[in-house]
Amino acid sequence: GQNIDQPTEMTATEGAIVQINCTYQTSGFNGLFWYQQHAGEAPTFLSYNVLDGLEEKGRFSSFLSRSKGYSYLLLKELQMKDSASYLCAYTKAAGNKLTFGGGTRVLVKP
Amino acid sequence: SAVISQKPSRDICQRGTSLTIQCQVDSQVTMMFWYRQQPGQSLTLIATANQGSEATYESGFVIDKFPISRPNLTFSTLTVSNMSPEDSSIYLCSVTSGEYEQYFGPGTRLTVT
């Protein structure tokens, strides 16, 4: 069964902030990825957290707590183009295979 | 970052036939992976393509159904054999570039009728 969970869908207003949570359970953990996927396109890399804490990249930030098996992706100043699916995935070793959550579909409304 | 191309980008195939998907990378990479994304779902790893040895398959995927080749460090193929409508999916290859970043190819959209 899947051991990495994220909400199925979220709706937010343009200009607002949305936080997408991801929880995981695994024996052996190296790091946590976030990808963005627009409909009909391949996933694009957003972030990778190995250490606890917050990493900020422009409007997007990602947080990791290894002890709690928890991560979140924070999207600020939402734009219509941010409407997409956001996938979290963990890896057990750097550069190795990914185990994905089910993805969170974010809909940004005007 | 690595630039990845896949061929074909899409195909419509009849059940019982096979399709080979190619993945080409613009630089030598150690790790290449093949994922499947069924309609409306997330990505599931099929196998890790190892250069110079047999691919490593995930639970639920077997070599007879999804044979993989990895003749060198820039190229891999995935064959979907004896297709059924349940194989209709997007198939994506990915590679590790640098220390940890993983990038995906554009995907191959397969429809089996």
- Residue A31, pLDDT above cutoff 80: yes
In angstroms, how far is the first alpha carbon of chain B from the final one? 36
A100 reaches B (C-beta below 8 A) = yes
Contact list in A for residue B107 (CB cut-off 8 A) is 41-42
For residue A1, the model assigns a pLDDT of 47
Give CA separation, A78 vs A54, A82, A106, B4, B65, in Å. 19, 6, 10, 29, 43
Contact list in A for residue B102 (CB cut-off 8 A) is 33, 45, 95, 98
Contact flag A42-B31 (C-beta cutoff 8 Å): no
**Torsion angles phi and psi, residue B77, rounded to 5:** -130, 150
pLDDT band per the 50, 70, 90 thresholds, residue A2 = low
Radius of gyration over alpha carbons of chain B, in Å? 13
pLDDT in tens, B60-100: 999 999 999 999 999 999 999 999 999 999 999 999 887 77
What are A64's two structure tokens? 């990791």
- The helix/strand/coil state of A11 is strand
Contact flag A33-B102 (C-beta cutoff 8 Å): yes
Distance CA A83, CA A86 (A): 9
Contact flag B43-A48 (C-beta cutoff 8 Å): no
Contact list in A for residue B44 (CB cut-off 8 A) is 100
Shortest alpha-carbon distance between residue A103 and chain B (Å): 6
Contact flag A102-B41 (C-beta cutoff 8 Å): yes
Tell me the average pLDDT across B92-109: 90
Coarse DSSP helix, strand, coil percentages of chain A, rounded to the nearest 5 percent: 5, 55, 40
Distance CA B72, CA A64 (A): 36
- Residue A93, pLDDT above cutoff 90: no
B43 reaches A (C-beta below 8 A) = yes
Contact flag B106-A44 (C-beta cutoff 8 Å): no
- Cβ contact A104:A50 at 8 Å: no
Distance CA A68, CA B3 (A): 35
Task: Work out the number of other CB atoms within 10 angstroms of the CB of residue B95.
Answer: 28
The residue of A22, A34, A45, A87 whose CB has the most chain B CBs within 10 angstroms, and thus the best one to mutate to test that interface, is A45
What are A66's two structure tokens? 């290894």
pLDDT band per the 50, 70, 90 thresholds, residue A94 = confident
For residue A25, the model assigns a pLDDT of 94
Contact list in A for residue B1 (CB cut-off 8 A) is 45
Contact flag A95-B104 (C-beta cutoff 8 Å): no
For residue B101, the model assigns a pLDDT of 83
Angle subtended at Cα B10 by Cα A98 and Cα B1, rounded to the nearest 5 degrees: 45
Distance CA A90, CA A2 (A): 12
- Residue B15, pLDDT above cutoff 80: yes
For residue B48, the model assigns a pLDDT of 94
pLDDT band per the 50, 70, 90 thresholds, residue A37 = very high
Shortest alpha-carbon distance between residue A98 and chain B (Å): 7
pLDDT in tens, B25-66: 999 998 899 999 998 899 999 999 988 888 999 999 999 999
Partner-chain residue, chosen from B96, B100, B105, that has the shortest CB–CB distance to A31? B100
Task: Work out the number of other CB atoms within 10 angstroms of the CB of residue B17.
Answer: 11
Pairing, β B43-49 against β B32-37:
antiparallel
- Cβ contact B50:B34 at 8 Å: no
- Residue B19, pLDDT above cutoff 60: yes
Run of H or E residues at A54? strand A53-57
- Cβ contact B26:B74 at 8 Å: yes
